[in-house]
Structure 1
Amino acid sequence: MTEIQVRRGGLGPFGLTDKVAVVTGGSSGIGAATAHRLAGHGATVVVGYHSGAVRAEKIVAELPGDGHLALRLPIEDTRALEAAASLVQERFGSVSVLVNSAGSTTPVAHGDLDMMTDELFDSMLRVNVRGPYAVTRAFVPLLRASGDAVIINISSISGRTASGSSIAYCAAKAALDNLTMSLGRVLGPEIRVIGLAPAAVDTEFVAGRGRDAIAAQAASTPLKVMVHPDDIADAALAAVTQFRVATGTTFVVDGGKHL
């Protein structure tokens, strides 16, 4: 039976100095912003990418501190992920933070069931659900080796509202939220698992969706603020460093769009 931790004054903040963080999808958008934020608070960051090697190297060059690494982490390729985890183990020994930020979507009108083909539906689930699971599975030994680690899954409010770029994307993010719950239950006490669910973020994530559309969505929310990748990076930093007794839960960071 695992010994229960009893400490006066609580666990306190989770410091990032001399800790290693792995960020999938780290070459752009939320992933890149989160890499900057974690490095700015002392972490050594592995900037994961699929095909954006040049972008990833540029992010690494911009990060404060030393020892950062750009590493190909194709989330649909389990063997490549296992090889990448072995490289990280050889270089760093352990990982304290894993951010599953990589994902993708293809806009399809919810009413156009014919356009949402089996192949497209399967692809959406493979990237947005199986991908984070495969990355987590590959890095769990390194996370456990740290003795005190956290996984951040970047989800979407679409998983709760069923309103988003496509039916399949909404279903995938709902499944990711469920995965966060399951992993939170089974990976403790060494590893916390926390999800973050933004609404539309000021990135080019959804093909064909311009800033005007994002601004219009923001205008309909109670806070009336366009969410920037840095806002989600701040939420990820808070989840890592401050939410010390939270696990298996997904926090909504959408400006109140769900209300």
Structure 2
Amino acid sequence: MSAESAAVEREVRRGGLGEYPLEGRVAVVTGGSSGIGAATARRLAGYGARIVVGYNSGLERAESVVQGLPGDGHSAVRMPIEDTPALERARHEIEERYGRVDVLVNSAGATQKIAHADLAAMDDELFDSMMRLNVRGPFAVTRTFAPLLVASGDGVVVNVSSLSGTTALGSNVGYCAAKAALDNLTMSTARVLAPEVRVLGVAPAAVETDFVQGRSLDAIVAQASGTPLKVVVHPDDVAECIAGAVTHLRIATGTTLVVDGGKHL
């Protein structure tokens, strides 16, 4: 074996990496003040991570989440995902306080309920906002924190997507298109950030939150009744999947996991 081949072999990591420990690691969760983000913050904190709850507005709500997390060393930091300079300030603040970022969960996003057939209602500004909030935002956050994630040597990014990205059925056509783009972004960034960083996606169907204004619990239950498992998906169900992806899927990257009770079948 040549010296060059031997060097390459030494650089290739072996399998059998085991569980990814969260004790001592720092996890940033955008959209962490409510819904899936808040549930994820609680899950990851329960495994020993120090959590940065990212929020756009509503400091009191974010601080309430922080105060309810197990363990210590948690904080709330404003992270408006449409504002790159503000994200960079957040990164500097986090780096000064913690010195590292190991896990990033892109949970922040937004939508509106608009009938797919009502193309006139999906004007340019609304369509663009779907893209800014659900694709460009997660990309900007990932780009901002990539140096710290790479420096950790074993970083993880999890993008919260939606089943809408593959079925094209969801709150509106722009949102569906944005989530499809986010799934593609998961693959692209997984390729370019490897081997130091894994990038994964989690795609739930309707979750029992107030994420889609005007969507009633009855509507969510009706959707759940049509799935094979006939279960209403709660935020903690998605959070548990995110935590599992972080801690156990050590050899997976660039893929999006469906968490929908079998709705896609």
Confirm whether residue 135 of structure 1 aligns to residue 141 of structure 2: yes
SS at match of 2:22: coil
| Counterpart residue identity of residue 101, structure 2 | V
TM superposition score normalised by structure 1: 0.98
Residue 11 of structure 2 corresponds to 3
Deviations along 1:25-65, whole A, 9 cap, x unmatched? 00000000000000000000000001021110000000011
Shift in Å, 1:11: 0.5
Aligned to 1:216: 222
Q: Spell out, residue by residue over 1:80-139, the C-alpha distance to the aligned partner (whole angstroms, 9 max, x if none).
A: 000000111111111110000000001111001100000000000000000000000110
**Which residue of 41, 48, 54 corresponds with 1:42?**
48
User: What letter matches 1:37 in structure 2?
Assistant: R
Distance in 2 between the 1:95 and 1:143 partners? 6
Query: Which one of the candidate residues 250, 259, 263 is aligned to 1:253?
Result: 259
Ranges in structure 1 where 5+ consecutive residues have no aligned partner:
none
Structure 2 letter corresponding to 1:42: G
Alignment of 1:1-259 (within 5 A): 3-7=11-15, 10-259=16-265
Q: By how many angstroms is 1:224 displaced? A: 0.1
Paired amino acid for 1:3? E
3-state SS in 1 of match to 2:251: coil
Worse-matched range after superposition: 13-22 or 141-150: 141-150
Provide, for residues 140-191 of structure 1, a one-character-per-residue CA deviation record: whole Å limited to 9, x for no partner: 1111121101000000000000000000000000000000000011100000
Instruction: Supply the distance in 1 between the matched residues of 2:187 and 2:263 (Cα, whole angstroms).
Output: 23
Secondary structure, aligned partner of 1:17? coil
Q: Secondary structure at the match of 1:114?
A: helix
| Counterpart-to-counterpart distance in 2, 1:99 and 1:181 | 15
Q: How many residues align?
A: 257
Please state whether the residue corresponding to 2:105 is helix, strand or coil: strand
User: Alignment RMSD, CA only?
Assistant: 0.9
Give the greater-gyration-radius structure (CA).
2
Gaps of 5+ in 2: 1-7
CA shift, 1:210, in A, is 1.0
Aligned equivalents of 2:257 and 2:68: distance in 1? 29
For residues 182-226 of structure 1, the C-alpha deviation after alignment (integer angstroms, 9 at most, x for no partner) is 001110000000000000000000010011100000000000000
SS of 2:183 mapped into structure 1: helix
Matches of 2:88 and 2:101, distance apart in 1: 14
Distance 1:162 1:232 in 2: 20
- 1:6 deviation in Å? 2.3
Identity of aligned residues (%): 67
Distance 1:207 1:176 in 2: 22
Consecutive aligned runs of 4 or more in structure 1 exceeding 6 Å deviation: none
The one-letter amino acid of 1:246's match is A
Where 1:48 maps in the other structure, the secondary structure is: strand
Residues of 2 paired with 1:41 and 1:251: CA distance?
21
The one-letter code of the counterpart of 2:87 is L
Tell me how far apart the structure 2 counterparts of residues 95 and 253 of structure 1 sit (CA, whole Å): 26
